[in-house]
Structure 1
Amino acid sequence: MAKATKKQALGRGLSALLKDPNNDIQNATDKNADKVVGNIVELDLDNIDVNPFQPRTSFNEETLRELASSIRELGVIQPITVRKMAFDKYQLVSGERRFRASKLVGNTTIPAYIRIANDQESLEMALVENIQRQDLDPIEIALSYQRLIDEINLTQEEMSERVGKNRSTIANYLRLLKLDPIVQTGMRDGFLSMGHGRALININDNGDQLDIYEKIIADKLSVRQTEALVKNYHNTTEIATPAQDETPKFIKKGVKDFAEYFGAKVDVKVAKNGRGKITIPFSSEEDFNRIKKLINSAK
């Protein structure tokens, strides 16, 4: 306890140093900069602005309240990181949830690490720090990677080194941004996992992609079931029709209904005498049982 009190007192002492106009530290080479930069300093919450480069745009209210309750009981265990903007003015680099939760419980100060960085460095630090978080959804992570490419001009190889992820992992996240915006929203809202999204990427037609997305939601399909559904979509052949597209209208309509019901492109062959054959493909025992269940439920 004595050690923690001493550390807190040190932070408050450094805070007083920063409030002295004669010690306005702007660069790492300034006098007393070594006493502040990299150390934990107790800063006034009112003197800290949120980071405009923050890639996260939404915060779960329930988890924020839980964090606020923890801060009320135990204090801020992990300091936030800020960069110095002007005399006694700072901007968040990372730790916005801790910043918001501290305000929520009525705290007036917060422990912080001070960095001196330009806008580009601040953006990179914020993006990389957020990518490392465990509670970001896949689309938020993908958008952070894309911003590192667009605004910091990092290659996938350079990102791999900065965030400690394989290049293939980064590529898989970036591919999620090719999904229809409705599907991306579904992932951000937690209706789909990254596994579902990776399966749906393989559907190029947006209309078909949305149809399968709706089926995943309606039938609560697992990732494996979704992968089987997408595989069926690609493996089934086009509907066989007589020359000059003389397929009767009732068959055309029926084929569409079958495809929607079974979640696969059903193959229909029609002979000149009007007789035909319907083929329903399946990719695994699990998929076969799914189709069987659908047929039995229609009896």
Structure 2
Amino acid sequence: MTKAVKKQALGRGLSALLKDPENDIRSAEDKNADQLIGNILEIDIDSVEINPFQPRSNFNEEALQELATSIRELGVIQPITVRKLDFNKYQLISGERRLRASKLVGLTTIPAYIRIANDNESLVMALVENIQRHDLDPIEIALSYQRLIEEIQLTQEQMSDRVGKKRSTISNYLRLLKLDPIIQTGIRDGFISMGHGRAIINIEDHEVQADIYQKIVSENLSVRETEALVKKYQDGLKPGAKAKKSAQNFEVAADQKKAFVDFFGAKVDVKVAGNGKGKISIPFHSEEDFNRIIKLIQKG
């Protein structure tokens, strides 16, 4: 418990600067700004509002309770990062789990890095820091990359420099957003891995994607088994395979057609589709003829 008290005492001298309305620091050029920027200060926990740009949307309650227990014993080891909005008002950039857990244990102050930034800078910092420091699920990471592209207009090359990831890695995450929403939820909830998702994304038809997803979950398929399943499906779509399958099925139907005609004494129509499915039509000309066909079927 001594460690916790010591940890929470960080920056109390500097924090006094923030409690003086006449010394309100709004920019890097203001007096005493150099004492604030880059330092860890204790700020009122109720003065911090949640960042609307926060990419994380799912918080595991059990993990949050474990973090709260750690904070109760050791204090907040890694400070949160906030930006200054107004006098004694801050907006969270990163560290929402630490903020939530600190509130659970009843802390009234929290150590924080304070930055002065506009909305765009805040968004970039929030997304980049969360991608690098937190265990976001693959879909949350993909959404973060997408927001950097759409809202900040960063290219994949620029993102690669910002987050220290290869461009191909960023591209692989972004491709996950092409998956059916049900599958995206499955990845977020941990039913399947990013590897499974990367295999499924090679199929454009969302209905087929969903069918394969259900098969993965029900049969607990590995990534390699999923890749093999996807390849089998794709091989079946190749023009050569379709033509060959269709021709074989039609030839079999043609060979059997005469047997149908002889058996029913009627002009039986046999149609076969390219996927191997088909339909047999038996015409009748009267109720008497219909009953005759029924008897033949029953005897057969």
Fold-level similarity (TM above 0.5)? yes
Is the Cα contact below 8 Å between 1:50 and 1:96 reproduced in 2? yes
Distance 2:130 2:29 in 1: 29
Deviation at 1:5, TM superposition (A): 7.8
- 1:272 alignment counterpart: 254
Residue of structure 2 equivalent to 1:18: 18
Cα 1:2–1:213 change in 2 (3 A) is: closer
CA-CA distance at 1:242 after TM superposition: 4.8
Partner of 2:280: none
Say which of 230, 238, 245 aligns to 1:240: 245
1:180-259 aligned within 5 A: 180-236=180-236, 237-238=241-242, 240-242=245-247
Instruction: State the alpha-carbon separation in 1 of the partners of residues 201 and 212 from structure 2.
Output: 11
Structure 1 counterpart of 2:270:
none
Structure 2 SS opposite 1:92? strand
- C-alpha displacement at 1:73, in angstroms? 0.4
- Unaligned 5+ segments in structure 1 are 248-268, 276-299
Structure 1 residue 160 corresponds to structure 2 residue 160? yes
Q: CA deviation at 1:22?
A: 1.3
TM-score normalised by the chain length of structure 2: 0.79
Code of the residue aligned with 2:101 in structure 1: it is A
Of 10-19 and 34-43, more deviation after overlay is shown by 10-19
CA–CA distance in 1 between the matches of 2:211 and 2:171?
Answer: 25
**Identity value in percent:** 73
> RMSD in angstroms over aligned alpha carbons?
2.3
Of stretches 16-25 and 129-138 in structure 1, the one that deviates more from structure 2 is 129-138
State the distance in 2 between where 1:162 and 1:105 align.
Answer: 35
Give the secondary structure class of the aligned counterpart of 2:102.
Answer: helix
> Does residue 30 of the first structure (1) align with residue 2 of the second (2)?
no
Counterpart position of 2:293: none
Which residue of structure 2 aligns with residue 93 of structure 1?
93
Query: What secondary structure, in the 3-state scheme, does the structure 2 residue paired with 1:136 have?
Result: coil
> In 2, distance between residues paired with 1:10 and 1:60?
29
* Separation in 2, partners of 1:64, 1:75: 14
The equivalent of 1:72 in structure 2 is: 72
Deviations 1:86-129 (A, max 9, x none): 01111100000000000000111000000000000000000001
Q: Deviations over 1:229-282 (max 9, x none)?
A: 001111132272359xx85xxxxxxxxxxxxxxxxxxxxx7363249xxxxxxx
2-structure distance, mates of 1:224, 1:7: 48
The question of whether the paired residues in 2 share the 8 Å contact of 1:28 and 1:116 is answered with: yes
Distance (Å, rounded) in 1 between the aligned partners of 2:6 and 2:246: 84
Q: Give the Cα separation in 2 of the matches to 1:101 and 1:3.
A: 17
- Paired residue secondary structure (1:273): helix
Q: What TM-score comes out, normalization by structure 1 length?
A: 0.80
Counterpart position of 1:262: none
1:61 counterpart residue number: 61
| Count of residues in Structure 1 that have an aligned counterpart in Structure 2 | 252
Deviation track 1:2-60 (CA, whole Å, cap 9, x = no partner) reads 99988865611111111001110000110000111110100110111010110111211
State how far apart, in whole Å, the 2-side matches of 1:270 and 1:129 are.
Answer: 63
**Local SS of the residue matching 2:84:** strand
Name the CA distance, whole Å, in 1 between partners of 2:228 and 2:163. 33
Indicate conservation of the 8 Å contact 1:80/1:98, yes or no.
yes
For residues 66 and 36 of structure 1, the distance between their equivalents in structure 2, rounded to whole angstroms, comes to 31
Q: State whether residues 76 and 98 of structure 2, in contact with CA within 8 Å, keep that contact through their aligned partners in structure 1.
A: yes
Equivalent AA in structure 1 for residue 252 of structure 2: V
Q: Which runs of 5+ in 2 are unaligned?
A: 258-300
User: 8 Å contact 1:240–1:270 — kept in the other structure?
Assistant: no
What amino acid is the match of 1:229? L
Deviation >4 Å, runs of 4+: 1-10
Deviations 1:177-233 (A, max 9, x none): 000111111111111100000000011111111111110011000000000000111
Distance in 1 (CA, whole Å) between partners of 2:194 and 2:220 is 15
